[in-house]
Amino acid sequence: MNKTNIEKLIMLVRANKKALPYVNIDSNGNYAGWVSDFHIVDKQTGKSVCLNLACPQDRFILFAIASCWSRSGAWENGAYFGAYLKSLHEDPFTYWMDKNKIAEEKEKSSKVAEQIEQNGGLKPRKKVAFRSDFYDSLEVLAKNWESIEKSLKNSERQNDYMIFIDCISSMKGLGAGKRTMKIKIPLILRELRIQNIYENIPGKWCCVPDSRVIKAAKSDIFAIDLPNYCTTIPAVLKASERIYNLFTDLYDLPLFAFKDIEDLF
The answer for residues whose C-beta is within 8 angstroms of residue 103's C-beta and 6 or more apart is none
Residue 20 engages DNA in binding (rule: CB under 7 A) = no
Q: Distance between alpha carbon 123 and the CA centroid of its chain, in Å? A: 18
CB closer to DNA, 66 vs 156: 66
Residue 112 engages DNA in binding (rule: CB under 7 A) = no
The answer for residues whose C-beta is within 8 angstroms of residue 18's C-beta and 6 or more apart is none
Residue 86 engages DNA in binding (rule: CB under 7 A) = no
Residue 254 engages DNA in binding (rule: CB under 7 A) = no
Of the candidate residues 4, 27, 100, 228, the single one contacting DNA (CB under 7 A): 228
Report the DSSP beta bridge partners of residue 41.
Answer: 48
Q: Where are the alpha helices (DSSP H) in 118-252?
A: 132-143, 145-158, 162-169, 185-194, 211-218, 233-247
Q: At 90, give phi and psi (nearest 5°).
A: -105, 155
Of the candidate residues 9, 49, 163, 183, the single one contacting DNA (CB under 7 A): 183
Amino acid identity at 253: L
By CB under 7 A, the count of residues binding DNA is 36
Of the candidate residues 46, 126, 220, 263, the single one contacting DNA (CB under 7 A): 126
In angstroms, the CA 103 to CA 16 distance is 42
Of the candidate residues 227, 249, 260, 261, the single one contacting DNA (CB under 7 A): 227
Q: Which residues bind DNA (CB under 7 A)?
A: 69-75, 110, 113, 125-127, 129, 131-133, 175-177, 179-184, 210-212, 226-229, 231, 234-235, 238
